[in-house]
Amino acid sequence: MGVTTFPGNPEIPLKLRKNARARRMTLRISRVDGGVTLTVPRGVSEREALAFAEEKRDWVVGHLSKQVGPELVGSGSRLDVGGQSFEIVQGSEKRLTIGDGRITLPTPAGKGRIHLQTWLKEQARIALTCASDRYAERLGRRYTRLTLRDTRSRWGSCSSAGALMYSWRLILAPKFVLDYVAAHEVAHLQEMNHSADFWRVVDQLYGPHSDARSWLRHEGPKLHRFRFDA
């Protein structure tokens, strides 16, 4: 069905998606970017779908009003990196500097943000490699490679070939959350599922994990609000 606009004023982008297995129409609002998706069963016309959306308009607007908007990182921003809070300030030099609770961006500001993002990815690789190595050694398994991406739908993954993938934005989360995601993905080196056996492995590697999972569920989407490009 494609992308249209939510009826009303102001207009809201609305993605219409057909799903042959759907039994009823459902509206979903992404906690990452606020995107609104209406899933409809086969046989439902676009006119019917938009009429259903209009009935839910107040619900959608109410939820969108509570979401945190995107933040272009720059002077005055604050970032938690590896569990440490930093104030972002704009400097006049040509290189990024870190110290005394501050990250000083090089000039010009646009390139400064790119330098900052590159540094964050480097810190994420270091932290996630250390955590993955620690848990893999504890498990007695080896992973084949580790890559970083800016994924929206998942914080990490483990392929059948033993390749680990993580979102680099985990470096912006508390350390106990980053460690949990690493333990979760390393556990898949032994159990490629989410069975009871898998969760027993996670418990063995990491310990109680309800707090970390709760943090990701409620606070994790906010990590995607930070933007590093104009």
- The residue extents of the domains of the chain are 2-66, 72-225
Structure tokens at 154: 């998942």
d(CA 3, CA 59): 20
d(CA 162, CA 199): 18
Q: What is the pLDDT of residue 160?
A: 95
Tell me the C-alpha to C-alpha distance, in Å, between residue 99 and each of 84, 105, 180.
11, 12, 28
CATH of 72-225, one of 3.30.2010.10, 3.40.640.10, 3.40.50.620, 3.40.50.720: 3.30.2010.10
Q: What is the pLDDT of residue 1?
A: 59
Per-position pLDDT tens, the chain of length 230:
577 776 566 677 888 888 888 888 888 877 666 778 888 888 888 888 888 888 888 887 776 666 667 889 999 999 999 999 999 999 999 999 999 999 999 999 999 999 999 999 999 999 999 999 999 999 999 999 999 999 887 999 999 999 999 999 999 999 999 999 999 999 999 999 999 999 999 999 999 999 999 999 889 988 999 999 86
d(CA 133, CA 145): 11
* pTM given for the model: 0.78
- pLDDT per residue as tens digits for the range 95-129: 999 999 999 999 999 999 999 999 999 999 999 99
Tell me the Ramachandran region of residue 173: left when phi exceeds 0, alpha when psi lies from -120 to 50, beta otherwise: beta
Angle at 46 between CA 44 and CA 50, to 5 degrees: 105
d(CA 158, CA 145): 10
Q: Are 96 and 106 in contact (CB under 8 A)?
A: yes
Q: What is the pLDDT of residue 177?
A: 98
